Structure 1
Amino acid sequence: MIDDALFGKPLISLITVGFAGIVVWHLLSRHRPTTRLVVQILFFAVMTLILVGSGIEPHRFQGYESEDPRALLVIVAKTLWWIHLAWAVIGFIRLYLVLEGSPREARLLQDLVIGVVYIGMALSVLAFVFGVPIGTLVATSGVVAIILGLALQNTLADLFSGIALTLGRPYIIGDWILLSDGTEGRVVESNWRATHILTSANNVVVLPNSFLAKLGLTNVSRPDESHLLILTIRIAPTRMPASVRHVMATALASCNSIVREPPPVVALKGLDATALEVELQFRVTSPSQRVPARNEVLDLVYRHCKSAGLLLAIPPSATVLTADLPTEESAKPPSVTPLALIEAIPVFTTLTSDEKRRLAETATVREFRKGDVIVREDEMLPSLMMVRAGIIAARNAGEERGRLAPGDFFGETGLLAGMQEVCTLEALTPVTAYEIDQEAFAPLLSERPALAEEIADHLASRAERFRNGASLPPEHARSAHAILKTIRTIFKA
């Protein structure tokens, strides 16, 4: 039986303060944990003073008369006191329990300790507010725990696997991982139950932690995201292996999509009467660059092989007579002519076959030694250069922006529109190029005045695309009308 003095205004005040504390705690921003903790401690302290002043001991159970409605006030008051005590402890945990440099471990430890605090609060309320015998409850809960454990076996397996993965840290959010079952992608979310992986197909794969813990895992993002690619190329054995290896190394050196440090590797894997098998090993900055890099390497291998007169070998599964295989004496690879290069240049797509042929006949051969500067930044090159062989580095403000390989071209903006070059072009290897000057191009414009408008439209759209991706001087940001006017001024057409 509780003394009547305990049921009155103090209990009403305590309950009011308790509910007010709950409202204020929820109104405060989660991004201000210190303020929330201070407010929580103040409300808890006020509730404790009211309880002590009223003679109520929240840590002891007091009997109630079942028919006495005033006992409900004591139950509510003591329950609110235990709730506020638990929240104050949790506030301390979230604010001060931090593992330096290990945010995931700190979060896991916080969640575990907070779970223990809530369990302790619930047991305390049952024991000291409602008088439930905890010992008997714990003994009975063992049977309940076995039943729940069997029913929640998969969920618990995911839970403990999540704890193991969190402590082991085989990956973090943002890492690119490859699983032994073939699943590959970037980790976008990891919680107690599952890990979410964003694949290259832009789909999110949700893997239960218990399933993920059983798989072999490769973290592609460690120690960094650079990724090794290996391509096998088969070359007809019409040249010495050392010459083939040099051509393959040059092709890799001209690639803009691969990592230059560590340098790519060219490995000769095998040689027989049908092919010299070459393995190209190179790295990309991230797994997302694998397809663009592979495409560029294959394109450059083809162009350098064609430039050097190498032939690709027939597939191993193909049936062919030995007498039909090319040899050093019988191999006749197609030569890279000025006409073939002109047909590959987009700005000349409007020319007829006869016009392209006549333009190709005017091309002259230019040779550059390694280290020669072909044209400097902000200078105008009044001729079109088509790379026949070698590698050219394009530098802007002292920084390399890319490399040109056989089949690439430059100088068309200076030849046709009087624009300055954006980059300094320097020969990284001995370079052979075909050159077409303004005198060779003038007859075409005089015969076809409409050709100037077509070229102006093409150069304007190309300059706009380039300007969106790089910093260009003001003279490059010109309209098709301004370029057309310049073309007519240069060629007096």
Structure 2
Amino acid sequence: MKYPLILGFGIVALDVAVWRLRIPPNELVRLAIRLALFSALNWVLFSSGLSPFTQAPPESAAELHWLGQVLEIIWWLMGARLLTLSLDTLLLPKAWRRQRLFSDVFGAVVFLAAVVAALGFVLELPVRGLVATSGALAIVLGLAIQSTLSDVFAGIVLNTTEPYSVGDWVVIDDVEGKVVEMNWRATHLLTGEGNTLIVPNAVASKAKISNNSRPANVHGLSLVLEIDPEARPKTVLDALGRALTGCNVILDTPAPFARMKRTTLNSVQYEVVAFVDDMNKKLAVSNELFDLCYRHLAASDVTLRALGVAGPATTAPDAKEALLKRVTLFESLTADEVTRLAKRLSRHEYQADQQVLAPDTVPDSLSIVHSGVLSVRLSELAGDREIARIGPGEAFGEAGLLAGLAMHVSIATLTPSVLYQLGKDDMTSFLKDHPEVAKQMCQLLAYRQDRLGKLTTAIPSVQEKGQSVFQWLFEKVRHLHSLHNGS
């Protein structure tokens, strides 16, 4: 064969181009091409009298001899690399390939063996003495990097037992984060604050690990609340149970629960535990659940106790006034206006599974939830669908009471509930005395136009008449409650 060295180095250059340029993109096809190139290199070497297991034959020119030696050494390194890639691509599970630990360690062992073989076969160096010397050197080096070696072997244990994998949400030593990388030295976690936390494998292998991604569709969340010790435990637990019922995002199985956790000098700690089907929901559901607990506890006259601080002595506020102050619709009223309006509220009690509002009706009163949980359902072609749950401090029927808009939804109680209602006559009398309140309420209703469009009669296209939504609503309120034009 003429010019075997040129042909051999050309094959090597082509292999390097396929490797560096990642051509073609498919990994299996690229591996097949590189194996074909390695087979071609074998044919070139052995057909030209070159063998990676012996020294290159002496040539008339010393440069050709050394080029042959270099090509044989490249054969060993190229073979080591392809062996590592073949094992990584064809045999290792995808989870292990993402973590890169086994492929890196195995590649290092194979390359070390290839270097020793090249030194022994191609250069014919005394490998036995080199191995003995390297053994002593390895002992010294091992003592110097024993912590790093500990991370390597701990990483092998973690990859073998697989307590977590890339993409899982885990808690390691009370630090929660998403596993974004696992290598021979450490595990990289992306925390909730957006920071990268690096946990050495030796530390992770000894730590208590909580994997929030297993099982895949169940993720727990826990809230700890400090409650006034004078509050009766049954009252607190019932209120927390209603708060869990009021959150329709949490799973029914495993069942959520509330329990008394422990007592302190100034309070009693209660824990609320629930489960969601998506890790990304935990933050939003935790916030919603805490708000529900606060409202249901307030509805039961139970107050949260500041951590480690004795509660101040306070006088009990009027229940109706306290309820009105928690309603968004009346947050712009003054204290005197709240007091006057509270006197017009009437109390109504409902049992569980009792309908409060039928669909396609115009409410003649504004209902404010004092305690309990109510379900809002929308009738569709496929059947009724629950779209929301209502709890303490929330109101419904304001669109019908203020503007005469019909509600498209049905509302029924899920638990025994207490509602305070404000009738149309009482609202009319109040608005005549406080016409500015009507404008404030219409502004709020106009702001909630999207919700009105879904739950009540759709607002017509008032832009064609040159009116804003607020003007249209205010005209409806003024007409329905017989307010003077000057108002």
**Deviates most, 138-147 or 101-110:** 101-110
Q: Secondary structure at the match of 1:24?
A: helix
Q: Secondary structure at the match of 2:62?
A: coil
Q: Is the 8 A contact 1:173 1:188 kept in 2?
A: yes
Would you say 1:364 and 2:346 are equivalent positions? yes
Shift of 1:142: 0.8
Shift of 1:145: 1.0
Q: Is the 8 A contact 2:351 2:416 kept in 1?
A: yes
Shift of 1:404: 2.1
List per-residue Cα deviations over 1:228-264 (Å, max 9, x = no partner).
4454534536x7x656654553344335575543444
Q: Is the 8 A contact 2:226 2:267 kept in 1?
A: no
Corresponding residue of 2:151: 158
Q: Is the 8 A contact 2:222 2:272 kept in 1?
A: yes
Provide closer, same or farther for how the CA distance between residues 483 and 199 of structure 1 changes in structure 2, counting only shifts above 3 A. Answer: same
Shift of 1:270: 9.4
Q: Which amino acid aligns with 2:372?
A: G
Q: Secondary structure at the match of 2:92?
A: coil
List per-residue Cα deviations over 1:462-489 (Å, max 9, x = no partner).
345x59xx97778269889224313313
Q: Secondary structure at the match of 1:434?
A: strand
List per-residue Cα deviations over 1:36-79 (Å, max 9, x = no partner).
12211222222222223312222222464797222122123323
Q: Secondary structure at the match of 1:475?
A: coil
- Give TM-score scaled by structure 2 length: 0.79
- Give TM-score scaled by structure 1 length: 0.79
For the residues of structure 2 that align with 1:345 and 1:298, how far apart are their CA atoms?
Answer: 16
Q: 1:282 aligns with which of 273, 276, 281?
A: 273
Q: Is the 8 A contact 2:266 2:310 kept in 1?
A: no
How do 1:5-44 and structure 2 match up within 5 A?
9-29=3-23, 31-44=25-38
**Deviates most, 31-40 or 170-179:** 170-179
For the residues of structure 2 that align with 1:255 and 1:277, how far apart are their CA atoms?
Answer: 24
Corresponding residue of 2:126: 133
List per-residue Cα deviations over 1:84-116 (Å, max 9, x = no partner).
3334333422331134x8546995444443333
Q: 1:295 aligns with which of 290, 298, 302?
A: 290
Q: Which amino acid aligns with 2:448?
A: R
For the residues of structure 2 that align with 1:405 and 1:15, how far apart are their CA atoms?
Answer: 77
Q: Is the 8 A contact 2:221 2:286 kept in 1?
A: no
Q: 1:250 aligns with which of 242, 245, 253?
A: 242
Q: Is the 8 A contact 2:220 2:274 kept in 1?
A: yes
Would you say 1:305 and 2:300 are equivalent positions? yes
Provide closer, same or farther for how the CA distance between residues 444 and 46 of structure 1 changes in structure 2, counting only shifts above 3 A. Answer: same
For the residues of structure 1 that align with 2:72 and 2:201, how far apart are their CA atoms?
Answer: 40
Corresponding residue of 2:370: 388
**Deviates most, 421-430 or 475-484:** 475-484
Provide closer, same or farther for how the CA distance between residues 269 and 335 of structure 1 changes in structure 2, counting only shifts above 3 A. Answer: farther
Q: 2:83 aligns with which of 89, 94, 97?
A: 89
Shift of 1:388: 2.7
Q: 1:57 aligns with which of 51, 54, 59?
A: 51
Q: Secondary structure at the match of 1:226?
A: strand
For the residues of structure 2 that align with 1:174 and 1:477, how far apart are their CA atoms?
Answer: 49
Structure 1: gaps (5+ residues)? 1-5, 327-331
For the residues of structure 2 that align with 1:265 and 1:400, how far apart are their CA atoms?
Answer: 22
Would you say 1:185 and 2:185 are equivalent positions? no
Q: Is the 8 A contact 1:284 1:290 kept in 2?
A: no
Q: Which amino acid aligns with 1:336?
A: A
Q: Secondary structure at the match of 1:70?
A: helix
Corresponding residue of 1:429: 415
For the residues of structure 1 that align with 2:190 and 2:252, how far apart are their CA atoms?
Answer: 28
Q: Secondary structure at the match of 2:468?
A: helix
Q: Is the 8 A contact 1:189 1:196 kept in 2?
A: yes
Between the two proteins, the alignment pairs up a number of residues equal to 465
Provide closer, same or farther for how the CA distance between residues 171 and 293 of structure 1 changes in structure 2, counting only shifts above 3 A. Answer: farther
For the residues of structure 2 that align with 1:20 and 1:50, how far apart are their CA atoms?
Answer: 14
Q: Secondary structure at the match of 2:124?
A: coil
Would you say 1:343 and 2:337 are equivalent positions? no
Q: 2:161 aligns with which of 152, 162, 168?
A: 168
For the residues of structure 2 that align with 1:185 and 1:491, how far apart are their CA atoms?
Answer: 56
Q: Percent identity?
A: 29
Provide closer, same or farther for how the CA distance between residues 215 and 136 of structure 1 changes in structure 2, counting only shifts above 3 A. Answer: same
Shift of 1:446: 4.8
Q: Is the 8 A contact 1:418 1:486 kept in 2?
A: no
Q: Which amino acid aligns with 1:236?
A: E
List per-residue Cα deviations over 1:107-157 (Å, max 9, x = no partner).
544444333332232223222322222222111111221222122222222
Shift of 1:386: 0.8
Provide closer, same or farther for how the CA distance between residues 27 and 110 of structure 1 changes in structure 2, counting only shifts above 3 A. Answer: same
Q: Secondary structure at the match of 2:18?
A: helix
Provide closer, same or farther for how the CA distance between residues 82 and 275 of structure 1 changes in structure 2, counting only shifts above 3 A. Answer: closer
Q: Which amino acid aligns with 1:114?
A: G
Q: Secondary structure at the match of 2:472?
A: helix
Provide closer, same or farther for how the CA distance between residues 386 and 82 of structure 1 changes in structure 2, counting only shifts above 3 A. Answer: same
For the residues of structure 2 that align with 1:245 and 1:347, how far apart are their CA atoms?
Answer: 30
Q: Is the 8 A contact 2:350 2:416 kept in 1?
A: yes
Corresponding residue of 2:356: 374
